[in-house]
Amino acid sequence: MKKSLFAIACATLISASTAFAEGGMFEAWLPENMTADVVAAVKFTRMQFSNWKFEDGTSSYTWLFSYDADLKNHWKVVDWRNKLNLALGYTWIDGVGKRKSSDKIFYETMADFNASEKVKPYVGARFESQFTRGYNYSEDEDGNEIKTTVSHFMAPGYVTQMAGVGYFPNDNFSTRLAFANRMTISPDYNYADDPDTKRHEKFKDEPGLESITEFKYSFSEIVTFKSRLWAFVNFKGVDEIDGKWENLLALSLSPLFEFQVSYDIAYDKDLDKDSQHKNVILVGVTWRWF
């Protein structure tokens, strides 16, 4: 039975490797008017120590699932783009317990009207939230852990509508500027509260200006760099600006394995007065669809 399962697994990997080498498992199913970049990935790291006296060590494991899809439909009058980014990951450390390391729901849809080759008006919408609860951890006087919920699905959630103009000089670079309305949804935890009022608000509308700049470059067939800079400022003033700069360098070690280095910087005055930083280095199994 074990030999049969092993043979099936090997056959699956070989089949998948062949498909990935050709650009993606479902590449042949892609319509002629569509371009796509879709990758699913699973990363797992485990370290186990038992009576290990040669050097200090702490047992731990980390797993992360991610799904990144960027689909573009091309027509004579309009181009329709849909982006979906999902991520969920946890880390367990002996003596500390389980902690969430990644949690993201991001969906963006935009229609670019082909008024000219490089400058195009567009409309779009975006949804952002998370899958599971987030916690703050502290200890009581006896050293017992106190776990306080600070976020969950749709608390906060963000829905943004935008309309503006984009500049697209080539396939690797684009920049957009739009009038946008960013709505914060938060029935709990006060993310939508207005400090100027005494009541608890569950929704907050912020009209303002939004900028999105994206860059993608392939150094070779195996090395790719992606960068996305997003900024939003409401009409109250420049001190109300929010922003996020996401960077990812991916190196394909083989058709099934990928090495990634990411570095993100974020600022949201409603969440923290200081900037937030995230750096991740991962190696894991990737499944390229397109």
Summarize pLDDT for 105-140 with one digit per residue, the tens: 999 999 999 999 899 999 999 999 999 999 999 988
> Can you tell me the distance from the alpha carbon of 160 to that of 208, in angstroms, rounded to the nearest whole number?
11
> Can you tell me the distance from the alpha carbon of 250 to that of 207, in angstroms, rounded to the nearest whole number?
36
**How many CB atoms lie under 10 A from the CB of residue 213?**
17
> Can you tell me the distance from the alpha carbon of 117 to that of 52, in angstroms, rounded to the nearest whole number?
64
Banded model confidence at residue 19, pLDDT cuts 50, 70, 90: very low
Summarize pLDDT for 193-216 with one digit per residue, the tens: 877 777 788 999 999 999 999 999
Banded model confidence at residue 6, pLDDT cuts 50, 70, 90: very low
Return the residue matching tokens 């900024």.
231
Higher pLDDT, 44 or 90: 90
Counting every residue written for the chain, the total comes to 290
State the chain's mean pLDDT as an integer: 86
Res. 15: pLDDT tops 50: no
- Residue 201 gets which letter from DSSP? P
Q: What is the pTM of this model?
A: 0.86
- Give the model's pLDDT for residue 5: 41
End-to-end alpha carbon distance in the chain: 34
| Average pLDDT value for residue range 77-82 | 97
> Can you tell me the distance from the alpha carbon of 99 to that of 8, in angstroms, rounded to the nearest whole number?
35
Q: Is 252:219 a contact under the CB 8 Å cutoff?
A: no
Give the start-end residues of each E strand in the chain: 34-47, 60-74, 78-93, 97-113, 119-129, 134-139, 145-151, 157-167, 173-185, 203-218, 223-234, 242-252, 257-267, 276-288
Closest to 162 measured CA to CA, from 231, 93, 219: 231
| Average pLDDT value for residue range 178-200 | 87
- Give the model's pLDDT for residue 103: 97
> Can you tell me the distance from the alpha carbon of 178 to that of 181, in angstroms, rounded to the nearest whole number?
10
Banded model confidence at residue 237, pLDDT cuts 50, 70, 90: low
